[in-house]
A and B are shown apart, each in its own frame.
Chain A
Amino acid sequence: MIKKKITNEEIGFWIVTIIVLIVVLGPLLWIYLTAFKSASDIFSGSLSKQILFTPTLENFKRLFTEYPFFASLFNTIIISVVSTILVMVISLPAAYSFARWDTGGGHLLFVTISTRMFPGVVAALPFFLLFRNIGLLDTHIGLILLHMYFNVSFATFLLYGFFKDVPVELEQAALIDGYGRIDILRRIVFPLVLPGIAITSAFCMIWSWNEFLFAFLFTRDIARPMTVLISSFWGSIEVQYGTMAAGVAIAILPILIVAWVMQRYIIRGLTFGAVKG
């Protein structure tokens, strides 16, 4: 019998893989285990209780009945979906214009991106004063506008790269073939940057879904999204691990699904240049 030799590289590969898996999956595992534990199991010192416990739904029941969980989930959905759509509506033509006609000679693009270069807190104070004066505090529109402020620059920059990858000669060929500008955008440019649009929307959506700082500062009650609600379980007297884990378990599900579905596009997006004919 031929014994397969295990090389040092293989051992190294597996060690690194296991470390990465623990780092990535460890917190997820903790969240989903904790969400189904009773309070006594969560604080139990014995290791066996940490893994082998009687699952319970009491955390979820508490979350759904004692807290406005669905209202804040709905807020999160509204804010992230609407802000992402609006961001794309603004960023798509902007990025195309930067990529095709070098609008503003590079300066305008830089200014757009530079809004992403300082800490968000810097923008928070002026926005807070402004929003207070025009009555946008604790409103959906207010938070949507703030998320747009941050995501438009990011999305424009990302889409700029994707549009840049579409050779201008393709558009010229289509012009000669008898198509107008709008038709060319629809039939040539748009299908070619579709993976880029998918990735960009996914990133914007995920960012908006997870955003905490602005949500925390600009909402109290009506427009409060899930991230702020979940943080409120971490009180000054006690930390409600069970309810918090249950909330997080639900909150991260859509993001996990989006990332999973987008996986194909993200990989295609990364190799976009290689696919070109």
Chain B
Amino acid sequence: MAEVRFENVTKYYGRNLAIDDLSFTGKEGEFFSILGPTGAGKSTILKMIAGIEPVTSGKIFFNDILVNNLPPHERNVSMAFETYNLYSHFSVYENIAFPLRAPKWKLNLSREEERKRVVEVASFLGIEELLDRRPQALSGGQKQRVSLARALIRKPQVYLLDEPIAHLDAKLKFLTQTLLKEFAVKYGITMIYVTHNFREALALSDRMMVLRKGKFDQIGTPEEIYYTPKVDFVGRLVGEPPMNMIDGELIKEDGKILFKAGEYFKITIKNELAKSAEKVARLEDNKLNVRLGIRCEDIKPGMQKLSENSFQLPVYAVVHEAESSVISFELENTFLHVRVGEDADFRRLKISDLLWLNFKQDRIFFYENTMKISKS
């Protein structure tokens, strides 16, 4: 097992900047996820670790050994591709056994040993009965598991998984996710896992990195990423519904600092919070503009006024989910989502009913505006 370290890595595809001066460390034995939207550069990072894409500048280390100039087969990594990349002229068995037979690793397994290992990993992923088939005869989800099996069969320095369960159906996704976590814990492997699905990243990772346009916005444990996003982008990417972001201004009234967005939306904020707000606020047209972020479960709704600091908004929509409901309110340029538990009062809510809302002061964050927020 190895630690993977990026030092000021930059990658250009022609003139397009894919990775921008990126430095991070995936620690030894760690399940490290890279989360980001399409085009953030996640797969590029994996390809550079594997050695199939060269870096434009910067250094990549495995355990303090510079690997920039090592070809892929000298790096001892294994990788599951998003596009599967199965060898179509081999059976599923041969596909999975292919890395074991590589002269490079000098495994020299007997036929029985090889069979044992292939069957073990195949049954682990539930594809045992497919071993004699050709990849062409498999469904997308089956191909994905074969590709995953091929990546997991060997014990390399680092496992690189690129969206390895993205094309599985929901049930299988959950099952495979559990298996992957079990596999990682059991063997204490270094895993670098790329996904665009925040749930996978939160569920599996020891630590995770949120990537945007080739730069990271935050690296941390899933708890840190979810509960204390450092940037508005992280809050919007992680969570369903995404973290509420409200653009407004800071104003002073009677020595108190207030956050105001539109006519009705006005809350007093505590002094220590105000300091953090002023730090990121920007002065535009004589206004101190700032973005307020709060998770939907940190807003308390009520039929009556809850405190001096609460305010009223008309209900825009109500969506009932299995164990909770999400009530939405329309703001000037975005929607405000509030999650409520099973409560008869809220069940009876109708559109345009007025509801009192109270923000939990210690769960409010202030951000610099780094992305466009829209109603969609």
Chain A interface residues (CB < 8 Å from chain B): 167, 169-170, 172-180, 183, 188, 191-192, 275-277
Nearest CB of chain A from residue B294's CB, rounded to whole Å: 43
Alpha-carbon gap, A63 to B47, bound state (A)? 67
User: Is B77 on the interface with A (CB-CB < 8 A)?
Assistant: yes
Taking a contact as CB atoms closer than 8 A, the residue among B50, B88, B104 that contacts A192 in the complex is B88
Q: Tell which of B51, B88, B143, B150 touches A177, judged by Cβ atoms closer than 8 Å.
A: B150
Complex contact A183–B98 (CB within 8 A):
no
Point out the residues of chain B lying under 8 angstroms from A178, CB to CB: 73, 76, 99, 102-105, 154
- When chains A and B are docked, how far (Å) is the Cα of A119 from the Cα of B272? 87
Flag if A176 contacts B87 (CB, 8 Å).
no
A sample of 6 cross-chain residue pairs with beta-carbon separation below 8 angstroms, ordered by A number, consists of A173-B87, A174-B87, A176-B73, A177-B98, A180-B73, A277-B143
B105 contact set on A, CB distance < 8 A: 178
Q: Which residues of A contact B134 (CB under 8 A)?
A: 277
**Residue from A167, A170, A175, A275 having most chain B Cβ neighbours under 10 A:** A175
Known contacts: A277-B86, A277-B87. The answer to whether A173 contacts B81 by CB under 8 A is yes
Residues of chain B from 43 to 71 with CB closer than 8 A to chain A in the complex: 47, 50-52, 71
Q: Which of B74-131 contact A (CB under 8 A)?
A: 76-79, 81, 83-89, 98-99, 102-105
Bound-complex Cα distance A188 to B89 (A): 8
Name B71's closest neighbour in chain A (CB-CB). Answer: A175
Q: Are A174 and B52 in contact (CB under 8 A)?
A: no
| Interface assignment of B136: CB less than 8 Å from any CB of chain A | yes
Report A181 CB to chain B, min CB distance, Å: 9
Closest to A191 in B: B89
CA gap between A93 and B11 in the complex, in Å: 30
* B154: chain A residues within 8 A (beta carbon): 178
Neighbour of A180 across the interface among B50, B84, B104, B135, CB < 8 A: B104
Q: Does B72 contact A (CB under 8 A)?
A: yes
* CB closest residue in chain B, given A276: B88
Q: Which 9 residue pairs spanning A and B have beta carbons closest together?
A: A178-B102, A277-B88, A277-B135, A178-B104, A175-B72, A177-B99, A173-B85, A172-B52, A169-B85
Question: Roughly how many angstroms separate A170 CA and B87 CA in the complex, as a whole number?
Answer: 7
Establish whether residues A175 and B83, one from each chain, have CB atoms under 8 Å apart when the complex forms: no
Q: Bound complex: CA of A172 vs CA of B86, how far in Å?
A: 11
4 new A-B contacts, CB < 8 A, other than A173-B81, A177-B99, are A175-B51, A177-B78, A177-B102, A180-B104
Q: Which residues of B contact A172 (CB under 8 A)?
A: 47, 50, 52, 72, 85
A179 to B150, CA, bound (A): 14
Contact with A along B265-303 (1 / 0, CB 8 A): 000000000000000000000000000000000000000
Distance A191 CA – B150 CA, assembled complex (angstroms): 20
Also in contact, A179 and B73, with CB within 8 A (given A169-B85, A173-B81, A192-B88):
yes
- Bound-state CA distance A176–B161 (Å) is 13
Closest Cβ–Cβ distance, residue A188 to chain B (whole Å) = 6
Residues of B within 8 A of A175 (CB): 51-52, 71-73
Q: How far is the CA of A175 from the CA of B51 in the complex (A)?
A: 9
Establish whether residues B78 and A176, one from each chain, have CB atoms under 8 Å apart when the complex forms. yes
Chain A residue numbers with a CB within 8 Å of B135 are 277
Shortest Cβ distance from A173 into B: residue = B85
Residues in B whose Cβ lies below 8 Å from that of A170? 85, 87
Give the Cβ gap from B81 to chain A, nearest Cβ, in Å. Answer: 6
Query: Chain A contacts of B89 at CB under 8 A?
Result: 191-192
Nearest A-chain residue to B79, judged by Cβ: A176
Q: How far is the CB of A150 from chain B (nearest CB, A)?
A: 32
Residue pair B136, A277 in contact (C-beta under 8 Å): yes
CB distance from B68 to the nearest CB of A (A): 16
Shortest CB–CB separation between residue B357 and chain A, in angstroms? 51
Give the nearest-CB partner of A167 in chain B: B85
Residues on A with C-beta less than 8 A from B47 are: 172
B99 and A169 form a contact (CB under 8 A)? no
Bound-state CA distance A85–B102 (Å) is 31
CA–CA, A277 to B25, complex, Å? 35
Residues in chain B near residue A173, CB distance under 8 A: 79, 81, 85, 87
Q: Which residue of B lies closest to A188 (CB)?
A: B87
Report the minimum CB–CB distance from A102 to chain B (whole Å). 13
CB of A152, distance to nearest CB on chain B (Å):
27
**Residue with the greatest number of chain B CB neighbours at <10 A, chosen from A167, A172, A180, A192:** A172
Task: Closest B residue to A192 by CB, please name it.
Answer: B89
Closest to A184 in B: B73
CB neighbours (8 Å) of A183 from chain B are: 102-103
Nearest-Cβ distance from residue A145 to partner chain B, whole angstroms: 35
* C-alpha spacing A58/B302, complex, angstroms: 111
**Within 8 Å CB of A188, what residues of B?**
87
B143–A176 touching, CB < 8 Å: no
* Chain B residue, CB-CB nearest to A175: B72
Q: List chain A residues, Cβ under 8 A from B98.
A: 174, 177
Shortest distance between the CB of A271 and any CB in chain B (Å): 12
Query: Is the beta-carbon distance between A179 and B88 smaller than 8 angstroms?
Result: no
